Structure 1
């Protein structure tokens, strides 16, 4: 509001400012509804998105003991919403973290791409809730509120944080759709983020072939057991020497509009090092290297429900996003979010849209058409990386590492 008043005063008093200066001074005032950009910005958005989320992925991995799932794209969207309401200096820092330009028209295109990647349907149920919960005594900048609402960045909700902890707890439980996370309510707001995924594979895993099987560490020692879902089908695969991993792509939903990538280490690379090796360029390389197999490949992955609750405030501080949480002058009015928690739950089951019809045995005598190091199987019975992407932009909707078997052995 102070920025709006100052801008009006400058205009009334005859002080001239250029359009570019005006946008930089208060981008929330600029009416992005009048934007028109006749340019495909998908690749630029993906590059910006990867630049932010892959350091985030590594930071989450370090703090979660290499067994986690989270929604990186959702965090990107929320930090963008924070940036749009920040003071000019902090805003520029956040824009640099997000790799987004000063031009609000371009940012609006980025926001449209980011917020339309995960939409629920009859075959893929993705529910993403992004909420900034303010104390009901806090005045929210209406211009900023309009911008984040119009671009579907997040929802602003109120609760009596300062004077009614029970009512606040009930509201938080409703938003999180789960037990109440550990939250610091000392500020006047908290940020809450949830994503739940349960989708149908484009091609189902075989109903009758789910077996309890050993799960190994990278040294080949059994550390527990998982329920492996199996299927024989033609897939796209790749080998990446830097990761020392083989990667498989499994389509999800009608027409494979989502893709899930799985990567298992097959060399001597340390698993933690492999997680730290992942970069935006490497992900793009993997996607470009994926090749279809000429014959069916034996595929086995664990049936699982994996859920993580991550303190994103701490993770973002590790990455240099600091002023937002401690300096009341950063936002107007002072938001001071004392907590930012994301809860992500991902369900992998064997159900799919199409039945996996067995192919003639003669097909198995044909060369795979793939790098020989990949062999004829992909068995995820040891620590692996995986993630869900939308097929149009290859935006990372969920990223995960699985290293803890469902059924662990008890040492005697």
Structure 2
């Protein structure tokens, strides 16, 4: 009988080596697909907050312990290079980029593996995950459920600046032999804050143009990057954080008559790197021109079981008790029983707390262009140096603050 491997992905906020890094494109493609499949699974009425970086990074760590077809499925979906050392070195570079300090931006991240003292991880697995992924390995005795749950909760609370406390209960680790966590905490102040006195209660519409509620609509008039992407059937703006604009939020608003689902599919075809590069070009080209930005204040919390979504994306065997091969991790038959993500994002006038066909785009500016996000939109937090998404989501309905499955 197989032993259960628990995976926990915790994201309270967000962010995301080199400009031409293969690993950045791999992460972007995974981020877009993850949001696309999750949004489809959640339905047309749900808001979403996701940290694709957190899921992708821990699945990459699990892939280090996988063999055979289990390994192949993970590598195919995560787009891990056949040159394992090349991927590992790029992963380490990407994590270093994430942790570069910027005034006005706080980023803290960690990865931990809690393992039953009876079933020690293989030394080769521990060495690789520590050297390249900076993973903490923490021995626990899962027979003592109270002590084990307290240890994990303490680790998570510290890693998230006490934003997530008492995250798991004793029942969550009842049958565990291994428990994995990945945490990100991000707080970013807008480079150009929204004017609080200009925030007004305004109607919000669905994709059919029907009013479905009210939002506190923020307003900013300033020189920000703005694009109308005909190939994407959407408008996009770039809203930077802190000094130096290393981190930014990209907001993508489908044109009237287009849907979130349609734009997400086009985003997959175009690739996120192209969108980011076009926005950077627009930022330089129209540096002295103002754009009128209307964006709702919003809070979204998602608590999701990702098994079904990842299975539809092609990761199947690792969740199958009869087929999973993780013998490069430990000399014990393991499978991942649940892959859970909790992600939260708060956006207001001051900033964000968040706990993701080439060349076919045409960009232009109009006289005093207007970007009015008064209908469903897609948002992403990106590292502008890496051109990489680490947090993304969809805002559809002001009456829903959370989503769980």
- TM class by shorter chain equals 0.7 to 0.9
| Alignment length (residue pairs) | 353
Unaligned runs of 5+ in 2: 1-16, 158-163, 352-362
Deviation at 1:385, TM superposition (A): 0.3
**Which is further off, 205-214 or 177-186?**
177-186
> Which residue of the other structure, out of 53, 74, 81, is the alignment partner of 2:61?
81
User: Could you say which residue in structure 2 is the equivalent of 1:270?
Assistant: 259
Deviations 1:153-202 (A, max 9, x none): 533334333x2333333334332624535847434223333333321111
User: Could you say which residue in structure 2 is the equivalent of 1:96?
Assistant: 76
Deviation at 1:247, TM superposition (A): 0.5
> Which residue of the other structure, out of 113, 124, 128, is the alignment partner of 2:93?
113
Asked which structure has the greater CA Rg, the reply is 1
Deviation at 1:69, TM superposition (A): 1.0
User: Could you say which residue in structure 2 is the equivalent of 1:348?
Assistant: 347
> Which residue of the other structure, out of 204, 217, 231, is the alignment partner of 1:215?
204
> Which residue of the other structure, out of 99, 111, 128, is the alignment partner of 1:130?
111
**2 CA distance for matches of 1:244 and 1:41?**
26
User: Could you say which residue in structure 1 is the equivalent of 2:6?
Assistant: none
**RMSD (Å), alpha carbons:** 2.9
CA contact (8 A) 1:90 1:323 kept: yes
CA contact (8 A) 1:184 1:338 kept: no
Deviations 1:273-322 (A, max 9, x none): 33343216342332233324452111121223322222233332222222
Unaligned runs of 5+ in 1: 1-38, 353-368
Alignment of 1:295-314 (within 5 A): 295-314=289-308
Deviation at 1:371, TM superposition (A): 4.3
More contact order relative to length (CA 8 Å, sep ≥ 6): 2
**2 CA distance for matches of 1:244 and 1:380?**
15
User: Could you say which residue in structure 2 is the equivalent of 1:180?
Assistant: 167
**2 CA distance for matches of 1:387 and 1:217?**
20
Alignment pair present for 1:54 and 2:32: yes
The 1:83–1:110 alpha-carbon spacing in structure 2 relative to 1, beyond 3 Å, is same
User: Could you say which residue in structure 2 is the equivalent of 1:386?
Assistant: 379
CA contact (8 A) 1:195 1:343 kept: no
CA contact (8 A) 1:132 1:189 kept: yes
Deviation at 1:208, TM superposition (A): 2.0
User: Could you say which residue in structure 2 is the equivalent of 1:67?
Assistant: 47
Where do 4+ consecutive residues of structure 1 move more than 4 Å? 181-185
**2 CA distance for matches of 1:138 and 1:321?**
25
CA contact (8 A) 1:187 1:338 kept: no
**2 CA distance for matches of 1:41 and 1:146?**
28
TM-score (norm 2): 0.78
Alignment pair present for 1:195 and 2:176: no
Deviation at 1:206, TM superposition (A): 1.4
Deviation at 1:402, TM superposition (A): 0.7
Alignment of 1:248-327 (within 5 A): 248-279=237-268, 281-290=270-279, 291-292=282-283, 293=286, 294-325=288-319, 326=321, 327=323
**2 CA distance for matches of 1:181 and 1:275?**
33
CA contact (8 A) 1:189 1:337 kept: no
**2 CA distance for matches of 1:272 and 1:184?**
36
User: Could you say which residue in structure 1 is the equivalent of 2:149?
Assistant: 169
**Which is further off, 152-161 or 52-61?**
152-161
User: Could you say which residue in structure 2 is the equivalent of 1:336?
Assistant: 335
TM-score (norm 1): 0.77
**Which is further off, 217-226 or 76-85?**
217-226
